[in-house]
């Protein structure tokens, strides 16, 4: 079954195979006449990117591209992208790619008309109100992976190269005006990327479901998101051309990002500093951290996870769920430790201090402190 639909949840979403052909119309519906397509270095020369640029050009919107985006986008990428955007006289962005390209593009749209520095808009208290909302540029988001769900998010994760920390930049108007989800665009993903991004979506759903905060809408979305990943990630990994599986994984990614409005937790608090310092793939890092964090949180989430396991047809309650996660990671070729992931000479004290400053700490079901966070890093390393 090939899925095709139009949704407005939480933004306008054009979902289905072939919907990328609507890219020029989507841009025009936002008032764009000269968009800048922003993507990462790995995607810049791929056929799907060239095809999208051709569609924009055929629609009279030009074919401008900025692709100097690192796997973990940084303030340097923001600086360089802003220079290109402002000098080129663009009037909107097409955020194209995985989490890195989408996050960077959304920040470029935010910062294009601002006079204050980037870090003034960190997701702290009501700092977002410092921005000139009228100067934020329109965004059309086109995901090419099924993981972060950044296409339906109002925030971006940017590495501060001075402190080597990932910071959340937030504004309500960073939500894309239009999202085009075309499963065909994810067919070319390599196996390791399908695995890492897919478990990233699962981690978002798991942490949202376990968060102690009150948000019943997110609770339901997170639970069904887990089911979609459980059912369709193995299929997408086994056969990258399985469009039904690819479609459901794109839905699961958006559900994870919508669901984690309820909160994230220790998985992300640990993975953010690891990625900022050691430049590991975010989703794969989440996957490596997940088994240890589940057991760390057991006193607070045993019954919650047992209810999820029941819904997912996983026998054995909490222990059965943990066993499922271990087997899923193994089946997807996920490393078991940070060392296997390539983390060497880790400064565990600095990583621990950074993890405890991460906003995700506040959503963890078990209170995190220096001692237990350091022990978690040691277990995962």
Domain boundary among 185, 201, 228: 185
Instruction: Please tell me whether residues 281 and 229 are part of one structural domain.
Output: yes
Residues 165 and 222 in one domain: no
Split at pLDDT 50, 70, 90, the class of 4 is confident
- Look at residues 128, 150, 185 and tell me which one is the last residue of a structural domain: 185
Of 185, 202, 217, the residue that ends a domain is 185
Shared domain for 173 and 233, answered yes or no, is no
Going by C-alpha positions, the residue among 144, 146, 171, 179 that lies closest to residue 8 is 179
42 and 107 share one domain: yes
Give tens-digit pLDDT for 133-173. Answer: 999 999 999 999 998 899 999 999 999 999 999 999 999 99
The two tokens of residue 134 are 């009228």
Same domain, 247 and 225: yes
Query: What's the CA gap between 107 and 105, in Å, rounded?
Result: 5
What pLDDT score was predicted for residue 270?
97
Q: What angle do CA 182, 203, 278 make, to 5 degrees?
A: 95
Query: 119 with 195, same domain?
Result: no
CATH number (domain holding residue 215): 1.20.1090.10
For residue 15, what are the β-bridge partners? 5, 181
Domain boundaries, position 72: 4-185
The CA distances from residue 99 to 86, 148, 312, 328, in Å, are 23, 6, 27, 22
Query: Integer distance in angstroms from the first to the last C-alpha of the chain?
Result: 42
CATH number at residue 72: 3.40.50.1970
Average confidence (pLDDT) over 114-142: 97
What is the three-state SS of the chain? CCCEEEEECCCEEEEECCHHHHHHHHHHHCCCCCCEEECCCCCCCCHHHHHHHHHHHHCCCCCCEECCCCCCCEHHHHHHHHHHHHHHCCCCEEEEECHHHHHHHHHHHHHCCCCCCHHHHECCCCHHHHCCHHHCCCEEEEECCCCCCHHHCCEEEEEECCCCEEEEEECHHHCCCEEEECHHHHCCCCHHHHHHHHHHHHHHHHHHHHCCCCCHHHHHHHHHHHHHHHHHHHHHHHCCCCHHHHHHHHHHHHHHHHHHHHCCCHHHHHHHHHHHHHCCCHHHHHHHHHHHHHHHCHHHHHHHHHHHHHHCCCCCHHHHHHHHHHHHHHHCCCCCCHHHHCCCCCCHHHHHHHHHHCHHHHHCCCCCCHHHHHHHHHHHC
pLDDT score of 204 more than 80: yes
Same domain? For 239 and 363 the reply is: yes
Structure tokens at 297: 């949180």
Residue with tokens 């800048």: 36
Half-sphere exposure of 143 (CA within 13 A, CB side): 29
pTM: 0.93
pLDDT tens, residue by residue, 36-79: 999 999 899 999 999 999 999 999 999 999 999 998 999 999 99
User: pLDDT at position 2, please?
Assistant: 65
pLDDT more than 70, % of the chain: 99
Selection from 197, 195, 196, 224 nearest residue 208 by Cα: 224
Q: Based on the domain organization, do 215 and 307 belong to the same domain?
A: yes
Residues 295 and 313 in one domain: yes
Give the model confidence (pLDDT) of 345-381 as tens digits. 999 999 999 999 999 999 999 999 999 999 999 999 9
pLDDT in tens, 245-288: 999 999 999 999 999 889 999 999 999 999 999 999 999 999 99
| Same domain, residue pair 159 and 213 | no
Based on the domain organization, do 175 and 203 belong to the same domain? no
Instruction: Provide the Cα torsion 108, 109, 115, 119; round to 10°.
Output: -60
The confidence band for 1, taking pLDDT boundaries of 50, 70 and 90, is low
Tokens in use for 238?
Answer: 């086994």
Q: Which residue, 300, 158, 149, is CA-closest to 229? A: 149
Helix axes 191-210, 266-278, angle to 10 degrees: 140
Average pLDDT over the chain reads 95
- Where do we find the tokens 């506040």? 362
- For Cα atoms 161, 167, 325, give the angle at the middle one, nearest 5 degrees: 110
For residues 57 and 142, membership in a common domain is answered with yes
pLDDT of residue 9: 79
Distance of alpha carbon 230 from alpha carbon 67, whole angstroms: 33
Number of structural domains the chain divides into? 2
């Amino acid at each position: 079954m090939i899925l095709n639909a139009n949704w407005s949840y939480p933004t306008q979403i054009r979902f289905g195979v072939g919907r990328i052909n609507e890219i020029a119309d989507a841009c025009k519906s936002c008032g764009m006449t000269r968009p800048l397509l922003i993507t990462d270095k790995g995607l810049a020369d791929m056929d799907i990117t060239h095809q999208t640029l051709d569609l924009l050009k055929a629609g009279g919107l030009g074919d401008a591209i900025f692709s100097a985006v690192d796997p973990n986008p940084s303030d340097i990428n923001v600086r360089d992208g802003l220079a290109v955007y402002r000098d080129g006289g663009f009037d909107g962005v097409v955020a194209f790619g995985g989490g890195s390209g989408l996050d960077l593009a959304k920040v470029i749209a935010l910062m294009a008309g601002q006079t204050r520095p980037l870090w003034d808009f960190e997701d702290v208290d009501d700092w977002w109100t410092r921005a000139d909302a009228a100067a934020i540029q329109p965004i059309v988001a086109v995901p090419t992976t099924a993981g972060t769900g950044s296409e339906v998010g109002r925030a971006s994760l940017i590495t501060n190269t001075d402190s080597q920390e990932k910071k959340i930049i937030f504004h309500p108007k960073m939500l894309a005006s239009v999202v085009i989800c075309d499963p065909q665009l994810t067919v070319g993903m390599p196996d390791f990327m399908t695995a890492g991004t897919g478990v990233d979506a699962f981690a978002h759903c798991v942490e949202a479901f376990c968060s102690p905060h009150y948000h019943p809408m997110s609770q339901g979305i997170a639970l069904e998101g887990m089911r979609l990943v459980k059912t369709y990630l193995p299929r997408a990994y086994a056969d990258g051309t399985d469009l039904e599986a690819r479609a459901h994984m794109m839905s699961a990614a958006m559900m994870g990002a919508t669901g984690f409005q309820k909160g994230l937790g220790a998985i992300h608090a640990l993975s953010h500093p690891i990625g900022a310092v050691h430049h590991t793939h975010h989703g794969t890092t989440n996957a490596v951290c997940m088994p240890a964090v589940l057991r760390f949180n057991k006193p607070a989430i045993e019954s919650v996870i047992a209810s999820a396991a029941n819904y997912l047809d996983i026998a054995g309650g909490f222990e059965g769920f943990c066993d499922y996660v271990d087997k899923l990671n193994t089946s997807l070729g996920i490393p078991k430790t940070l060392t296997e992931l390539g983390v060497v000479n880790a400064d565990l004290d600095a990583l621990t201090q950074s993890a405890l400053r991460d906003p995700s700490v506040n959503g963890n079901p078990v209170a995190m402190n220096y001692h237990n966070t350091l022990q978690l890093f040691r277990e995962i390393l």
